[in-house]
Amino acid sequence: MKTEARGERDKVLKWNGWGYADSYFKLDHEGDVVMMGDRYEACGHKMPYFRPWFEEHLGVDLDYMTPSQRIGDMEIPPPIENDEIHDELVRADIPFSNEPRMRLMRGHGHTVHDIINLRHGKFPRLPDLVVWPRTEQEVMKVIDLAMSTNCAIIPIGGGTSVSSALECPVTEQRAVISMDMALMDKIIWIDKENLTCRAQAGIIGQSLESQLNSKGFTCGHEPDSIEFSTLGGWVSTRASGMKKNKYGNIEDLVVHVNFATPKGMIHKQCQVPRISSGPDLHHVIMGSEGTLGVVTEVTIKIFPLPEVKRYGSLVFPDFNHGVEFFREVARQ
């Protein structure tokens, strides 16, 4: 089985939790919390007030250990084999795999329920095959193969879903293909005059923003999952971000979407933010969570980088005062 195209997910991310495998919290010999790794400014620093606050306010005893099961001990259901689609993927030279770890890492999102199942439970149904298309043509080829061989497709971007959209129905009898968009991760063009950018759907938010920043722009969309989630995932989940009051939600940023379906590729010839006549098909695509097709390319609005960035904090005596402050800011 071909497995050369795995993307970074399997190399650097935790298989049984959120985030990078080399970034985690640890108790030092004095019982203080230390963040391990070197990816973040907090890494290597002791947090002497973290544990007392955590235990006092959340009632959690950090001395009580509940180790995760090992991936080798996890019951991973065997795949439903479909030799016809295997043969066709080989002929089309489209990378694919049915290795257990590949299937496991693409068969769940990141809800608390998912993480508990990874650490202590099992998944009764997982994708049977993972494919990595590299172009829109290969996406359409996989869709056509799935139609002709009676397979189901679940697209996946960064795998940070919290809506259970990546779960395979336990009763599904067809072979389920996980279409991993990791290899479609390029910026296609940046239009500096019209302040738009087109990129492939598999580009990670952090990479998109870094590349735009290097050209003096920002996309303005910053969900908590920006390190791992993808542009296509933002569209499919109708995502919001912490800067939405300034730049808008994803539906405010989208100019155009290329959308692969069993009936063919859907795209508009007119590359403008809105048209006055008729319903906007983009609002059907956004939030569809892979049920109608696969997002392949997205054109979004971009913005000049702010000239100055300043960070600060305000401390309120209680929650209600904080809420009232934000309401007053909104009124002004």
pLDDT digits (tens, 9 = 90+) for 192-213: 999 999 999 999 999 999 999 9
pLDDT of residue 269: 73
Output the pLDDT for position 63: 86
Q: Could you tell me if 22 and 40 are in contact, meaning their C-beta atoms sit under 8 angstroms apart?
A: no
Q: Is 161 annotated as a binding residue?
A: yes
Residue span(s) of the chain under CATH 3.30.465.10 come to 187-304
Range(s) of the chain covered by CATH 3.30.43.10: 75-180
Distance from C-alpha of 189 to C-alpha of 297, rounded to nearest angstrom: 11
pLDDT(155) > 90: yes
Residue 5's pLDDT band (boundaries 50, 70, 90)?
Answer: very low
Residue 289 counted as an annotated binding residue:
yes
pLDDT digits (tens, 9 = 90+) for 72-83: 899 999 999 999
Answer whether residue 3 shows pLDDT above 70: no
Contacts for 209 with CB less than 8 Å, ≥ 6 apart: 218, 219, 222, 226
Q: Is 294 labeled as ligand-binding?
A: yes
226 is in an annotated binding site: yes
Entry pTM: 0.92
**Ligand-binding site membership of 135 (annotated):** no
Residue 8 has pLDDT above 70, yes or no: no
The CATH number fitting domain 17-58, selected from 3.40.1050.10, 3.40.50.11900, 3.30.160.650, 3.40.50.300: 3.30.160.650
Topology of domain 187-304, per CATH?
Answer: 3.30.465
149 annotated to a ligand binding site = no
Instruction: Lowest mean pLDDT of 55-59, 141-145, 290-294, name the range.
Output: 55-59
Task: Identify the helix (H) or strand (E) that includes residue 257.
Answer: strand 254-261
158 among annotated binding-site residues: yes
> Annotated binding residue at 296?
no
- Tokens at residue 245, please? 């009051």
159 annotated binding-site participant: yes
245-260 as b/e: b if 16+ CB within 10 A:
eebbbbbebbbbbbbb
Whether 229 has a binding-site annotation, put simply, is yes
The verdict on whether residue 238 carries a ligand-binding annotation is: yes
Average pLDDT, integer, range 227-250:
95
Q: Residues of CATH 3.30.160.650 domain(s) within the chain?
A: 17-58
Going by C-beta distance under 8 Å and a sequence separation of 6 or more, which residues neighbour residue 180? 7, 9, 106, 130, 131, 132, 156, 202
For the stretch 243-301, pLDDT in tens is: 998 999 999 999 999 999 999 999 887 777 677 777 888 999 999 999 999 999 999 99
When the candidates are 3.30.43.10, 3.40.1010.10, 1.10.10.10, 3.50.50.60, the CATH number that belongs to 75-180 is 3.30.43.10
